[in-house]
Structure 1
Amino acid sequence: MLPPLYDQKSRIKLLVLLLALLIAGATVVYTNVLVQRLSEREQSQIDLYAKTLRYIINTEDTKNLPFLQEQIIEANTTIPVILTDGENINDAKNLGLGKGLSEADSVRRMNAVLLDMQKRHPPIVIELAGGVRNYVFYQDSRLLRQLRTYPLAALAVIASLSMMAYIAFSYSRRAEQNRVWVGLAKETAHQLGTPLSSLVGWQEYLRQSDRFREEPIVEELGKDIKRLEIITERFSNIGSVPVLKAENLYHTTRNAIAYLESRVSRKVKFSIETDLPLDTPACLNVPLFDWVVENICKNAVDAMDGRGSITLRLRRVKTRREWWRWRKPRPQVAIDITDTGKGISKNKLESVFLPGYTTKKRGWGLGLALARRIIENYHEGRLFVKWSEVGKGTTFRLILNQ
């Protein structure tokens, strides 16, 4: 099972996503309301503009013409309009064609704008004396066009900022986790150093003692000391940048499971198969690699209740190129570790790598989390569940660079 924080993480993510969608939806709806109101206002302005033009053209009373010209016709400084007689352009305002254009260029651009206006809004007809008609074409103001695109721009900015915040938070969290792991590893290695030195001294004392020199206990003590030295070296490697070397993958894997074979139930059968030449190298740190294989195999033994088979198969895999890596990817090899245990349900395939996840009554649930960290952070490889079926078993895939 997982600690409460990890157990609730999916629900928290869903809640944040729903809240973000709610805010985005409210923004779009409110902006659309403003756009609709502004569009209706501009429509009213254009209707008044057309009526004023009709009045100015048809009236013989010149008394009010300056007022109408100034307060209505010239007051329109935002809505692009074109007045035509059906064939020729008689007047145009607010088209934003730019300065310094030749007459031919201006006409060409106005005709292009006119075609766009005809597609967007039906013209307003101005009835003149003698059955003559003029037509007022118009399009949305620049402010209205900007307001229409505002929701998309706002959502893009919010999404970008959210992504940046998520990346920064994830980086900060990973950095903090790394500091915790490294600090724990250094402290553990330091704490093991003192009693280990004492045990080495006691073993040497017993070897030189006439009473215990020939006793098997001295040799067994030596084996345990050797094991403690390996564990200390592992923690020391986590606490610093480990040195990776090209090692024989088959022999290194064989040595890693040899230690386990003599220390687990005899009803568990280990086997190693390979599709690779026996001299195939892989870039790895042997103590840490052994630790990864040991953690995965120990979990497999527990999942099988001490009875079953564990098969390790070495194979070549197609190199996956990551888009964020600038350098050319190196050839890769894989180790598939398959057991005949209880299997993992599909909704737990990623949870098994979270710190604290465990199905056992004892243990901290750090084995697979530590294994993935060793492979991905220190070896630039990958560790994941390739296949699992409840009641049949599980296959972990471990990918390394050559």
Structure 2
Amino acid sequence: MARREVFVNIYEQITGWRFVLIFLLLIIGAGVLYYFTQLGLQVEEREKKYASLYAAGISFTIEQNGSDCEYTYVQEMLEANETVPMIIVMNGVPSDYSQNIPELEDKKKKWTESEKLDFKYNLVAEMGQEHPPIEFVVGKDKGYVYYSNSVVVRQLRYFPYVLIGTFLIFGSLAYIAYSSSRKAEQNRVWVGLAKETAHQLGTPISALMAWVEVLRANPEFDASIGDEMEKDVKRLETITTRFSNIGSIPQMNKEKIVEIVEQTLKYLERRISTKVKVYFTSQIPNDVLVDVNRHLFEWVIENLCKNAVDAMSGKGELSVLIQPLSKNRIAIDVTDTGKGISQSNLRKVFRPGFSTKKRGWGLGLTLAKRIIENYHEGRLYVKETQLDKGTTFRIILDVAEA
């Protein structure tokens, strides 16, 4: 019992650290977004200064036109902008003064005057929506510098999302690889444990069969006791067969599913509390076939029913219903009137080692889910549960082709 608790605690600690890691990743993601947002704002502010200097330079050049003033510095300042798209508007009309607008600078493109003017008006309208224009005065005339963000700013705006997306993709791939590796390791543990269990049970079972025959040879031995002992030995043989099948690729056969479930319930009904009423209902024909391994599937039904009996504390109603579904599928519902499953435990019921009982290792439902989903290519899940009212587990299987 202590070992099982240690195992569960370690698993819960790992799960807790997983949430801490996710929280740290969210903080890092928010930090990346904030950093690049601030960086983009700083670059935008710098480009606004470029636009202001450009407006001042244009105003100075026009005002000093014809004078002996040295324009070299102003010209260098105007040409220093190599990234920010700009255009001058004088008295409401776009001028030919522009920078970093490839469409207007493409000399191979043949513009008509009306096409060129329409393009400029549309460009000015778009830039005006992006940034308010910068005003400058030349004599009695007013001019405006319209500008838009450079390619660098636009890339900075989307780069953090690309970066986070890249991290998420690589993180997802790493998690998938880790999960696959862990599942493969778990599979090896399951297979090894099952094979070893079957191997260890084989020898004492053979010895018990021999001892039963020895006891039967004694005339004073009660034959009825021998019959009961033989039943128990055969039961052990069935358990050994189950472990042997789960430790290898099980042989699937077309079986009458109604017959298997009904016989399993009859076997259990004689071995559980008489205060538990068992009800079996089938809404499908008795000759419906399903590809199953009989020994393993009986084990699943037994585990679900035993868990139901434990949930009811040995008193209540256990109902098993087989009904047809669409697309050649059937559903097997195992319903109890027990204490139900809380929302906090709902995600843990199939986890190895999880159990609300004081006894047991919490592997029954884990084995059942593994048998149904890995070997029978079906589904096993909690269909519905209510506290103090009961729980329904559902198995979904494909009907075999005739």
TM-score w.r.t. the length of structure 2 is 0.89
Partner of 1:221: 229
For residue 235 of structure 2, what is the amino acid of its counterpart?
R
Are residues 1:191 and 2:205 paired? no
Q: Distance in 1 between matches of 2:14 and 2:141?
A: 72
Moved more, 238-247 or 177-186: 238-247
Deviations 1:94-143 (A, max 9, x none): 123485742229936655433321221222233224x3343321111111
Are residues 1:272 and 2:262 paired? no
Partner of 1:182: 191
Partner of 1:18: 23
Partner of 2:254: 246
For residue 257 of structure 2, what is the amino acid of its counterpart?
L
Identify the match of residue 139 of structure 1 among 148, 155, 158: 148
Change (3 A) 1:347 1:293: same
Are residues 1:306 and 2:314 paired? yes
Q: Distance in 2 between matches of 1:343 and 1:133?
A: 79
Partner of 1:382: 379
Asked whether the 8 Å contact 1:334–1:398 carries over to 2, the reply is yes
Q: Distance in 2 between matches of 1:225 and 1:49?
A: 97
Q: Which runs of 5+ in 2 are unaligned?
A: none
Asked whether the 8 Å contact 1:79–1:139 carries over to 2, the reply is yes
Q: State the shift of 1:146 in Å.
A: 1.0
Asked whether the 8 Å contact 1:183–1:239 carries over to 2, the reply is yes
For residue 15 of structure 1, what is the amino acid of its counterpart?
V
Q: Distance in 1 between matches of 2:370 and 2:106?
A: 63
SS at match of 2:357: coil
Q: Which runs of 5+ in 1 are unaligned?
A: 319-329
Moved more, 56-65 or 288-297: 56-65
Q: Distance in 1 between matches of 2:102 and 2:34?
A: 30
Partner of 1:96: 102
1:116-135 matches, cutoff 5 A = 116-129=126-139, 131-135=140-144
Q: Distance in 2 between matches of 1:115 and 1:56?
A: 26
Q: State the shift of 1:213 in Å.
A: 7.5
Change (3 A) 1:193 1:33: same
Change (3 A) 1:299 1:88: closer
Are residues 1:401 and 2:398 paired? yes
Identify the match of residue 64 of structure 1 among 66, 70, 78: 70
Q: State the shift of 1:389 in Å.
A: 2.2
Change (3 A) 1:304 1:226: same
Identify the match of residue 39 of structure 2 among 22, 29, 34: 34
Partner of 1:259: 267
Q: State the shift of 1:359 in Å.
A: 2.3
Change (3 A) 1:101 1:218: farther
Moved more, 363-372 or 117-126: 117-126
SS at match of 2:87: strand
Asked whether the 8 Å contact 1:265–1:307 carries over to 2, the reply is yes
Identify the match of residue 365 of structure 1 among 362, 366, 370: 362
Change (3 A) 1:126 1:303: closer
Count of aligned residue pairs for this structure pair? 388
Identify the match of residue 242 of structure 2 among 218, 234, 244: 234
For residue 117 of structure 1, what is the amino acid of its counterpart?
M
For residue 130 of structure 2, what is the amino acid of its counterpart?
R
SS at match of 2:102: coil
Q: Distance in 1 between matches of 2:77 and 2:239?
A: 88
Q: State the shift of 1:214 in Å.
A: 6.5
For residue 264 of structure 1, what is the amino acid of its counterpart?
I
Change (3 A) 1:96 1:187: farther
Q: Distance in 1 between matches of 2:329 and 2:63?
A: 85
TM-score w.r.t. the length of structure 1 is 0.89
Moved more, 99-108 or 85-94: 99-108
SS at match of 1:372: helix
For residue 23 of structure 2, what is the amino acid of its counterpart?
L
For residue 392 of structure 1, what is the amino acid of its counterpart?
K
Identify the match of residue 300 of structure 2 among 292, 295, 311: 292
Q: Distance in 1 between matches of 2:266 and 2:108?
A: 85
SS at match of 1:189: helix
Moved more, 237-246 or 49-58: 237-246
Identify the match of residue 345 of structure 1 among 316, 335, 342: 342
SS at match of 2:210: helix
Are residues 1:73 and 2:83 paired? no
Q: State the shift of 1:249 in Å.
A: 1.5
Q: Distance in 2 between matches of 1:343 and 1:290?
A: 24
Q: State the shift of 1:43 in Å.
A: 0.8
CA RMSD of aligned residues (A): 2.4
Q: State the shift of 1:392 in Å.
A: 2.2
Asked whether the 8 Å contact 1:212–1:218 carries over to 2, the reply is no
Partner of 2:8: 3
Asked whether the 8 Å contact 1:282–1:333 carries over to 2, the reply is no
Moved more, 30-39 or 178-187: 30-39
Change (3 A) 1:99 1:242: farther
Partner of 1:336: 333
Partner of 2:179: 170
Asked whether the 8 Å contact 2:94–2:121 carries over to 1, the reply is no
